[in-house]
Amino acid sequence: MTRHNTKLKILEHAGRLVRLKGFNHTGIQEILESAGVPKGSFYFYFRSKDDLGLALINYYAELIAQKANSLFDKAEGSPLEKLLKFFQGMRELFEQDEWRGGCPIGNLSQEMSLLNDTFRSNLQRVFSAMQLKIRDYIEQGQAQGDIDPRFDPNNMAQFILDSWEGALLRMKVEQSIQPLLIFEMMIFGHLLTL
Amino acid sequence: MTRHNTKLKILEHAGRLVRLKGFNHTGIQEILESAGVPKGSFYFYFRSKDDLGLALINYYAELIAQKANSLFDKAEGSPLEKLLKFFQGMRELFEQDEWRGGCPIGNLSQEMSLLNDTFRSNLQRVFSAMQLKIRDYIEQGQAQGDIDPRFDPNNMAQFILDSWEGALLRMKVEQSIQPLLIFEMMIFGHLLTL
């Protein structure tokens, strides 16, 4: 395994553990054992646990951006339909944890925002990038007459993103897909529908 | 100080630390120092840190219920206006942490849902109670013709509650009141307005 692959493998396993147990509750040894990487080699890849946490934020930011691009490129229909398909596609990501895992970005936000300003500014950046992507599709929908032009597209994008994060939090507490389905119904069946 | 008062004081200080640092990152000693309670007396009040965590969920459930009742009783106007005033009143609770602290119930949900099933079922109970309260006012609003009768009141109440939790998470990341204002505008200015 190349050095790059090992680093990715550590991030994958760290991500799963953070989704399931949170960042503070996940130990370095546990991550390495889960990834099958020899103990002691951690500091070859990361300077500290915080360094791993920051790499994890970037890893998920990249993963979300790739998944978003692939979903938007594949989706057919109006900007509004594409936006719905994006959230439906993202929803599938959480099936692997059987709706118990929660959002890694949400987890890190809840746990680390106040403890570490570098974490916080990186998390802000991830939220901003997602919000911008959603805003683009709202603006396109407004231009095509699908979405009410009176909405401020940036505020609407923020509300949708924040509500999505709230639905993911509730999903984790209920261990159920249901909060995500209610999110989709309310945003796409009521709020955005003309 | 009576035994009851000391216990309440420990819970108050534990709550502030959990809002600011999360549950896993908050130590028992730190809570006792903050509360000015002698070290070593912790186990007089709580069997374990988890026992304190469960007491904290009940403490906040009670606090939210009291605040909700007082806000709903005080508020004048239609059920819709009362519901808005409820969220505006709750919003003020977060000002004490300068919008940095986040929701204690959200924090505990993100951190503890998967680690501890007793925590999870207690958190579910708190969410259900809040949802029921919101549903009551939606049903009253529908009966009075203020809110679209086609909405399922339970789904709408869940969406509003989950979106509120998401807005509180974003508030914490941005250290800003703005996500809460956008929540109010979207729910009460667009979604629920006929």
Exposed e or buried b per residue across B134-152, where buried means at least 16 C-beta atoms within 10 angstroms of its C-beta: bbebbbbbbeeebbeeebe
Measured between CA atoms, the residue of chain B closest to residue A131 is B170
CB A22 within 8 A of CB B110: yes
Amino acid A193: pLDDT: 83
CB B127 within 8 A of CB B135: no
Interchain CB contact of B1 with A (< 8 Å): no
Do the Cβ atoms of B111 and A106 come within 8 Å?
no
Do the Cβ atoms of A162 and B167 come within 8 Å?
yes
Can you give the pTM of this predicted structure?
0.95
CB B61 within 8 A of CB B23: no
Q: What is the pLDDT of residues A47-74, one digit of tens each?
A: 999 999 999 999 999 999 999 999 988 8
Burial of A159 (0-12, 13-18, 19+ CB in 10 A): buried
Give the gap in angstroms from C-alpha B4 to the nearest C-alpha of chain A.
Answer: 30
CB A35 within 8 A of CB A9: yes
Q: Which residue has the tokens 């009362």?
A: B82
Interchain CB contact of A107 with B (< 8 Å): yes
To the nearest whole percent, how much of chain B has pLDDT over 70?
A: 99
Give the gap in angstroms from C-alpha A2 to the nearest C-alpha of chain B.
Answer: 34
d(CA A96, CA B28): 35
* Rounded alpha-carbon distances, angstroms, from residue B134 to A77, B71, B169: 36, 13, 20
Q: Which residue has the tokens 């009851």?
A: B4
d(CA B122, CA B102): 19
The half-sphere exposure of A43 on its side-chain side, counting CA atoms within 13 A, is: 2
Q: How many CB pairs under 8 A join A and B?
A: 145
* Rounded alpha-carbon distances, angstroms, from residue B174 to A95, A161, B29, B101, B169: 29, 14, 30, 11, 9
Q: Which among B110, B115, B151 is the nearest to A106, CB-wise?
A: B110
Q: What is the pLDDT of residues B59-79, one digit of tens each?
A: 999 999 999 999 988 888 999
Amino acid A74: pLDDT: 87
Give the highest mean pLDDT range of B38-47, B110-119, B130-139.
Answer: B130-139
Task: Pick the closest to residue A26 from B24, B120, B19 (CA basis).
Answer: B24
Amino acid B1: pLDDT: 64
Amino acid B194: pLDDT: 65
CB A96 within 8 A of CB A104: no
Amino acid A115: pLDDT: 85
Interchain CB contact of A120 with B (< 8 Å): yes
One pLDDT digit (tens) per residue for chain A, 194 residues: 687 899 999 999 999 999 888 898 899 999 999 999 998 889 999 999 999 999 999 999 999 999 999 998 888 899 999 999 999 999 988 988 888 888 899 989 988 888 889 999 999 999 999 999 999 999 999 999 999 999 999 999 999 999 999 999 999 999 999 999 999 999 999 999 86
Q: Which among A110, A155, A185 is the nearest to B110, CB-wise?
A: A110
| Statement: residue B21 has pLDDT above 90 | no
| Statement: residue B7 has pLDDT above 70 | yes
* Rounded alpha-carbon distances, angstroms, from residue B87 to A31, A81, B59, B67, B83: 41, 31, 20, 11, 7
Do the Cβ atoms of A182 and B120 come within 8 Å?
no
Measured between CA atoms, the residue of chain B closest to residue A107 is B110
Measured between CA atoms, the residue of chain A closest to residue B191 is A191
Do the Cβ atoms of A109 and B172 come within 8 Å?
yes
Measured between CA atoms, the residue of chain A closest to residue B193 is A191
Give the largest Cα separation in chain A, rounded.
58
CB B106 within 8 A of CB A169: yes
CB proximity list for B90: less than 8 A, separation 6 or greater: B64, B67, B68, B71, B164
